[in-house]
A and B are shown apart, each in its own frame.
Chain A
């Protein structure tokens, strides 16, 4: 079974530029999550989708971050414009259903904002 795919693996941009990350979850997984992991900290949920609807985006900085999951499969997370403090690893995860079941994580995208 293929795991969660993410691209790119690494990205370096200047502040005020825009960037987009892509995630393809495990086939059949209805729930998709985007987490931000700042160096030395645990992952923090940015947004959770159930199929193509948003379940929780309470910690998403909506003035600069946006995410979509068209057709309920793959998803894109965008930052525009980027700030220095956005430097982090962005993790995508999926699960068969929401709730306290196991989440499967992708390898992450390491973003550096200069």
Chain B
């Protein structure tokens, strides 16, 4: 079945550092791709998405590009802030059946001032 693999955490950076969180996927078709974020004490919320190859999703300074040739959807931000500390989940919409979300294991990000 479809699956998502994320870079292992935790990741600790200093404020204003450049962020990359790697995400690769396996799918038999052409899924939509998502990054969800879970801030401390809050529920999961959609950060950005891309629905077809070469699409770039962006939000709050974060970006990710759907790369079909490398089956990747890496999350990047040029200058992180303390408020970006959270757990980040890469996900795809299953290409079979009901198109449920399939999540990676999550990457915990901590930004130090």
List residues of chain A with CB under 8 Å of any chain B CB: 3-4, 33, 40-45, 48, 50, 55-56, 91, 93, 98-100, 102-108
Contacts and interface: CB of A to CB of B under 8 A. Distances in A.
Nearest to B42: A107
Main secondary structure of the interface of B (DSSP, over half): loop
B65 to A, nearest CB: 17
A40 B9 CA distance: 10
Interface in B33-77: 36, 42-46, 49, 51
B25 interface: no
Given A42-B104, A42-B105, A42-B106, A105 B45 contact: yes
Counting chain B residues whose Cβ lies within 8 A of the other chain, the interface size class is 20 to 34
Nearest to B45: A105
Contacts of A50: 98
A48 B97 CA distance: 11
B32 interface: yes
Nearest to B91: A42
B98 A43 contact: no
A33 B44 contact: no
Contact of B99 (A43, A100, A102, A108): A100
Nearest to B90: A42
Q: Ordered nearest first, which 9 A-B pairs have the shortest CB separation?
A: A42-B103, A100-B32, A100-B93, A105-B44, A56-B98, A105-B43, A55-B98, A45-B100, A107-B43
